[in-house]
Amino acid sequence: MATIVMEKIGRLFINLQQIRQVPQMLREAVPSMPGTLRDGEVPYFFRERHIHAGYRPLHQGWRYYFLTLFQRHNETVNVWTHLLGALLVFMKASQLAETVDFIRDPHAWPLLILLLSSMGYMTCSAVAHLLAAKSELCHYCFFFLDYVGVAQYQYGSAVVHFYYAVEESWHRQVWGIFMPVASFLCCLSCLGCCYGKYRNYSLPPWVRKVGQVVPSAVAYSWDTSPVFQRLGAWVLFHGEPSGNDRALWFHFGQVAFFLSSAFFFTHPLPERLFPGRCDIFGQGHQIFHVLLVFCTLCQIQASHLDYVARRPLYMRLHGDSEAAFFAVLYVITVIACAQIATFMAGKVRQLLSCKEKAK
C-alpha cells in the first residue's frame, strides 16, 4: 500500500516538474520575440491616448502576433478579457443545451442567436486586439471585423428582447417592423463605426465619435425598448418583481452593466488621470470589455428565464413561423455587415496605396 502511495506521489511530483517547465519550453520555442516599444517608436495611428509603452513592433510574421497572446503588452488584457468571456458564454451554452432543445424547438432559436452572436463578437474583438498591430491595413481590417461582431451582437440582443421580453402593448405597436428596423440599425452602426475609423485623419475627433456613437446609441435604444418598458412598469407599478419575474433583476443588471461599459468606452479613464501608468493593466477599454461581458452574461440569464417563464405569452405573440424568419434575417444581417466592412476595407486599401505613391 505504502509503495503504491509513494509511486503516486512520485508521479505527481514528476507532473508538477513538467508543468513548471512550460514557461521555459515556451521561451525556447520562441527564441527571438522582439520586445515592446514606446509610443514614439510606433506610427501615429497605432498610438492610444495616455498609453505610453507596451506597443508591439509592426511588420512581423503572423506567428509573432499569435504568440504575443502570451506576452505582456498593452493589448494582452484586451485579448484575454474577451477570450475568457467567449469561453464563459460557451460553457453557459453547453449548460443550457442540457435542458433547452435548440434544434427542434423553434422558440429557442432567438436564444441560440444570442449565444452565437455573443461568442461571435467576443471572438472578433479578441482577434482584432491580437492581430491589428501587424500593419496599418491590418489595423483597419481587423477593427472593421470587430465592428461586424458588435453589429451582429446588436441583432442578437434585439431578437431576444423582442421575442421573450416584450410586453403585449409594445408588441402591438412595433409588430412587423421591430426586427427589420433592428437589422437596418445594425448595418447603420456598422457603417458609422467603419466610416469613422476610415476618416480617422480627416475628420475632427468629435465628428468621428458622433458618427460612431450616435447610430449605436439609437440601435441600443430601439433594441432594448422592450426591456425598458418592462423595467419602467416594474419601477412604477410593482416595486418588487413577482415570483416568476426574476428575469427583471438580470435585465436591470444588463442595462446597468451596459451603461457603465458605455461610459468607459467613451472616456479614456483611468489612464487620463494616470498617464503612462495603465499601459498594461487598468485601461478604460479593458474595464469596458469586462463590463460588457457581465452585461452579456446577465442578458443570457434574463433571456433564458424569460424563455422558461413567459412561454404561453411569446408563443401567442409570435406564432410558429416568426422564429425562422428572424433566424434568416440574422444571416442576412451578418452578410450585409460583412459586405459593408469589405467595402470599407477596399476604400482603406485605395487610401493607403495613394499615400504610398505620394511618398
Annotated binding-site residue numbers = 129, 285, 289
Instruction: State the residues that interact with Zn ion by CB under 5 A.
Output: 125
In whole angstroms, the minimum distance from the beta carbon of 141 to Zn ion comes to: 15
Dist. CA 61–CA 32, nearest whole Å: 12
Annotated binding-site residue numbers for Zn(2+) = 129, 285, 289
Q: Closer to Zn ion at the Cβ: 116 or 124?
A: 124
Q: Closer to Zn ion at the Cβ: 145 or 248?
A: 145
Q: Sign of the CA dihedral 272, 274, 279, 285? A: negative
* Cβ atoms of residues 22 and 29 within 8 Å: no
* Cβ atoms of residues 241 and 234 within 8 Å: yes
In whole angstroms, the minimum distance from the beta carbon of 72 to Zn ion comes to: 18
Residue at shortest CB range from Zn ion: 125
Q: Closer to Zn ion at the Cβ: 118 or 125?
A: 125
Q: Closer to Zn ion at the Cβ: 78 or 229?
A: 78
In whole angstroms, the minimum distance from the beta carbon of 310 to Zn ion comes to: 33
Q: Closer to Zn ion at the Cβ: 83 or 185?
A: 83
In whole angstroms, the minimum distance from the beta carbon of 302 to Zn ion comes to: 24
Dist. CA 282–CA 284, nearest whole Å: 6
In whole angstroms, the minimum distance from the beta carbon of 40 to Zn ion comes to: 24
Q: Sign of the CA dihedral 303, 304, 309, 315? A: positive
The maximal CA–CA distance of the chain, rounded, in angstroms, is 80
* Cβ atoms of residues 71 and 33 within 8 Å: yes
Which is nearest to 139 in space by CA: 45, 34, 203?
Answer: 45
